Amino acid sequence: METQTVQMLAVVSVLLAFGLAEWVQGRFFAPEATREDNRLDVVVTLLFPLISGAVLATSGALCAALMPEQRNAWAGWSVWAMLAVLLVADDLTQYLWHRLSHSSVLWPLHRAHHSAAYMSVRVVYRNNAFYYALMPGLWLSGALVFLGFGWVYVGYSIVKVSVIIAAHSAVRWDEWLYRHAALRPLAWLVQRTISTPATHFAHHALVQDDGIGHYTGNFGNLLFLWDVLFGTAHITQRYPPAYGLSDDRAHGPEPWLVQFIFPLLRSKRAQTVLGKQAHRPPSA
């Protein structure tokens, strides 16, 4: 079975498992979701594999054209060496890309991820198409696969995506860690190592002045350790009472297609960063 097929089946299985768990708990169809939300969630989830796959394939094709003699040149590396490189080339660069996306320049490409007033597996891939098309980690991963990281990349990406899906899911799997005193050491370690619902939900909070929300930090995807190391971590073991963006609360939701393909299509809303006015990051 080809690597991409295995990767796709594994990711879809994890997504469906958490989606089913949310449905059983009555959390999948969020009452806060608008018609625009529903359309955007469906379209992005279906098209993300095509966008990311196209980036990986294009990156590999460029490598084949520019340095054909290097195909599988690093295939003899140890698994641990490959994982270390992937954590830097993919996960650290995604942390930095995510952090930069909360600046004025790239915020319009990431805004869709925060416009949802709910947390769910539905939100995992909810971003502007160009957010993924330009993501440095995907381009570097394509080059590493060309160099021979193949199956190691598949295993790494399955673990990473599983952590990301779990961190967005309304299932809140980490709650059980905080209920028992005996698990406090484990909770302390887990929260500072990988992204969890509590830390990532804080990043999606509607406000930041309640001691829980922290949308100017908690940028980690697989490793929350990057936030700890770079001083952007905020850990409370609590969940925000509300999510989304204050400008949407005040002026109504943006059209789903504008959120998905800006700047090819721009918003007609008066107060927006998806129109012709200057870009700006979110504010409470």
Spell out the residues 6+ positions from residue 93 whose beta carbon is closer than 8 angstroms to its own: 136, 137, 140
Look over the chain and give the mean of its residue pLDDT values, rounded to a whole number: 93
Decide if pLDDT at 62 tops 60.
yes
**Looking at 12-16, 163-167, 217-221, which range is the least confident one?**
12-16
Per-residue pLDDT band for 122 (boundaries 50, 70, 90) equals: very high
Per-residue pLDDT band for 2 (boundaries 50, 70, 90) equals: confident
Q: What pLDDT, on a 0 to 100 scale, did the predictor assign at position 278?
A: 44
Per-residue pLDDT band for 281 (boundaries 50, 70, 90) equals: low
Q: What pLDDT, on a 0 to 100 scale, did the predictor assign at position 213?
A: 96
Q: What pLDDT, on a 0 to 100 scale, did the predictor assign at position 280?
A: 55
Q: Mean pLDDT across the stretch 251-274?
A: 92
pTM for this model (two decimals): 0.92
Q: Mean pLDDT across the stretch 267-276?
A: 86
**87-101 as b/e, with b when 16 or more CB fall inside 10 Å?**
bebbbbbbbebbbeb
239: left (phi over 0), alpha (psi -120 to 50) or beta: beta
Per-residue pLDDT tens digits for 78-120: 999 999 999 999 999 999 999 999 988 899 999 999 999 999 9
Decide if pLDDT at 154 tops 70.
yes
Per-residue pLDDT tens digits for 17-51: 999 999 999 999 999 999 999 999 999 999 999 99
Which residue, among 3, 23, 42, 10, has the nearest Cα to 257 in the 3D structure? 42
Q: What pLDDT, on a 0 to 100 scale, did the predictor assign at position 284?
A: 39
At what angle are helices 79-86 and 150-168 packed, to 10 degrees? 50
Query: CB of 171 within 8 A of CB of 201?
Result: no
Q: What pLDDT, on a 0 to 100 scale, did the predictor assign at position 277?
A: 57
Three-state SS string over 174-201 comes to CHHHHCCHHHHHHHHHHHCCECCHHHHH
Using the structure block, give the residue that is written with the tokens 């999606």.
204
